[in-house]
Each structure stands twice: as C-alpha cells, then as structure tokens.
Amino acid sequence: METSAGFSRLTEGVRRWVWKQGWPSLREIQEMALLPVLDGKEDVILSAATAGGKTEAAFLPACTRMAESSLPGTAILYVSPLKALINDQARRLESLCGSVGFPVTPWHGDAPDGGKNALRKNPRGVLLITPESLESLLMNSPSWCGEAFTGLVNVIVDEFHAFLGTERGCQLQSLLRRTEFLIGRTVPRIALSATLGEMEKAASALRPEKTLPCRILVSEGKGSELLLQVRGYRTPRADKGVRPGLPDELVQDAYRLLRGDSHLLFTNSRSRTEELAAALSALCDRNFVPNEFFPHHGSLAPDLRRSLEERLQKKDLPTTAVCTSTLELGIDIGSVASIGQVGEPGSASGLRQRLGRSGRRGAPAVLRVFVEEDETGPDSHPADALRLSLVQTAAVLSLLLRKWREPPREGLYHLSTLVQQTLSVIAQYGGVRADQLWTLLCGTGPFRAVGKKDYGDFLRGLGEKHALSQLG
C-alpha cells in the first residue's frame, strides 16, 4: 500500500487495520483528512460522495488521537440523526476501534442496556448517540457526563446536512456548546456529509461561536453516468376529503421495472410507503411469485427494519425497499441497481443523497421518477391544470444536473427550540441565573439573534405561562 506523511503518523494499530483491509491506497478524502484531524487545532468538514470513505476519513485519525490520549473517559462522541445509522456504524467501527483497544457503544432508545451499563461503570472509547439521547444524559446524569466527557478528543457529526437550518440542528448546536461548557474546554468537531452547499455557511453552522477555525475538505470524485427516466400518472379522482389511491399503472410499472434486482423506491410519506409496499406485495401474490417489496420507515418495529437492511446487505435475494428518508442517509446497504422516487422530489440535495446509493464501481447511476398528478375535471382548481408536481420535478432535476445544492438557512430564531433548551438547562443544573442562561444559550451559543432584553421578555413570558418560576 502507498503511504504518506499523514499515514505514517497514524498509530500502529490503526495502520495494521488499514493493511488488513487490503486497500491499495487511501481514498482522496481520507488522505486529505489525516493531518488536519491529527493536529486537532481546528474543526473539519468532510464532503464526499455517498460511499466515498468519509467515515474512515474521520475515524482513522480520530482513533489515533484516542489511542495517544492520556485523558480518562470517553474519547470520541459521534452524533447521528438516525438510530439505524448508529447501529450500522457500530458494526462497521467495531474492528477499527478494537484495533487500538477501545469499545464502541451505541446509545439510543433501542440500544441494548448491556453496553450502556458497561459504559456507565467505565466510560471509555467511542459513544454513538442521537441528539435526543445526548440531551437526556445531560439532563439526567450531568455529573456522570462531566466525568465521562472530560477526555473527549473529537466530536463527529454524521450526515451533517440533515441538521442544517432545522430546529433539531439548533438543538444539536446547543447540546455541543453545553457539553464543552460542562467539561470546561473546546473539543474539535468533524462534520460528514455528501450534500452540502455554500460551505462557509456550513462551517458557521458547525460552530456558531467560532472559537476554532474550520477546515473545509471536499472530494468531488469522478462521478458516474446518470440514466434518468420520468414517468407521469393521473391519480384517480376521489370523493372530497378522501385521499386518492395509487394509480394502478404506477404500481404495474414499478413491479415490472424493479422486480428481479435490488432497488430503493422512495416516497414522500409513511402512509404512501405502506400503501405502495402493500400494493406491490399483493401483486406478487397474484402472480404467484415470491415477494420482493418491503416497507422501511421510522415507525416500523426495529426488528423489521434491521431484517430488511440485512437482506439488502447480503444481496442473495432480489429486494426492493419502499422507503422514506430513513434509507437516504448513510446506512451501509451497498449499491443498488436503481433509485426510484414516487412523487415530486423535495430538494436537489436530498435527491442527490438518494442517488448516491446507485452507480457505484463504474456502473451508471439509474434514477426513475414516478410523478402523480390529480385527474382534472370541470370543477378542478385552475392550478391542477398546471401540473405543478411535474413542474417541481423538472426544476429539481435541472438543479441536480447542474450540481446545485440548497444552502443552509440562516437568520432563524428557532424560539421553540430556545424554550426547550432553556428548560433543559434549568433541569440539568436544578436552577440557573437569567444572565447565565443568556450567556450559555445566546451569548456564546446558537441563539445569537436573541439579545439580552428580548431574552428577559422571553423568560418573563415563560413565567407567566407557569413554565418556570423565579426564586426570591
């Protein structure tokens, strides 16, 4: 394997792990990330295509820092938007982190209690967690968090684009600021994403307080050929107030085009996912063939989701997952033959993220879009005749082909999240002065648009609603 100055700085256990993988060389983004992460003097954003090696780009140098650190406690805090992604990453990272003698602990509502209890008794290694579970720890076990996180060498945020400009992203910004305040020092952050636009805004979102500089590393990759098809269907008219059913032609086409190989078929809602998966499964029954179509969304039982993910990974049976955005993010299911989208795409970035599941190892990426439009009649609204779903689909596809990505939203107050974070901090410490709250959440936190006077009015409003009370 070709080596470099950055590779030679990796600890021996990590180098041995890389050699065992049989890689001829590191990928571009992995090579780019080594020295900036190893130096630990700045935040780093890693942007590369899906399956471009971003996880290893972050963890190869981070595991080296973990192995060489003399500080006690958990060394790497990995934050993910999805529990399924945490489970997948725990499996992937176990051997890498084990090469330097450290455990990997997934922590969320469905994670086994054995690993959590072991980490409570002896906090060390890598903690994989969702923002909600991190908040629960800060509120319910602040003393333990102060000890467990004292040795953090890196915070890694996966699928960073999923947090940008959202209430959940603002919550995460606040939680990371609160964690650093709790342990009394700044911890370098690493953000991973395949779809980011306007990188400077993304850097500001990673650390709004700007106490560390941010290095932006982008690997464009060679890309692959794109095969694109758009199909339109008239949805049968339904009684007023009744949801229209799926066009029968859409179900027949999806069955004909997708059966016999592995695909991801995305919809825009859980109800549509269930409806389409049931219709395709019923069509398999009517044709006396094995079912290949299965639903996947966040409300399904964890065992059903894991079973489908494992079936996709094994690739021994043709499988089409009819899914929401749960399979859009970085769960490692390997490559699929094509991506399907039922209904108009919501964003160019989301569609690009989904498309990254197809077209690997030199094969062309295949995208099929199934657009539904309501059947029009004499009493239809004039807007229905404009075929707005088809117009939106054409617009998003045009932006996709131009490699444009939505920039992060800025300047939002996120006052509902500020309410939640205010109450969360009070619960964590049992009571906080108003000026301390403002400094932590607004002055040095993510709610910088809220001034002292406005925050005072904000607190008085919460008091009037009996959400909090002021001590004498």
Tens of pLDDT, residues 59-105: 999 999 999 999 999 999 999 998 888 988 999 999 999 999 999 99
Band of pLDDT at residue 239, cut at 50, 70 and 90: low
Give the rounded percent of residues in the chain with a pLDDT score beyond 70. 95
The whole-number average pLDDT for the span 293-309 is 88
Is the pLDDT reported for residue 40 higher than 90?
yes
DSSP symbol at 376: P
d(CA 94, CA 454) in angstroms, rounded, equals: 47
Strand-pairing partners, residue 214, are 43
Residue 215 has φ and ψ, to the nearest 5°, of -95, 130
Alpha helix (H) residue ranges in 261-331? 270-286, 302-314
Q: Residue 323's beta-bridge partner residues?
A: 266, 296
Instruction: Output the pTM of the full model.
Output: 0.86
- Helix (H) or strand (E) run with residue 182 in it: helix 167-183
Alpha helix segments (H runs only) across 9-141: 12-21, 28-39, 54-68, 83-98, 113-121, 131-140
**pLDDT the model gives residue 4:** 79
DSSP structure class, residue 466: T
Q: Give residue 146's identity as a one-letter amino acid code.
A: G
Q: What is the pLDDT of residue 314?
A: 87
**Distance in angstroms (rounded) separating the CA atoms of residues 365 and 354:** 11
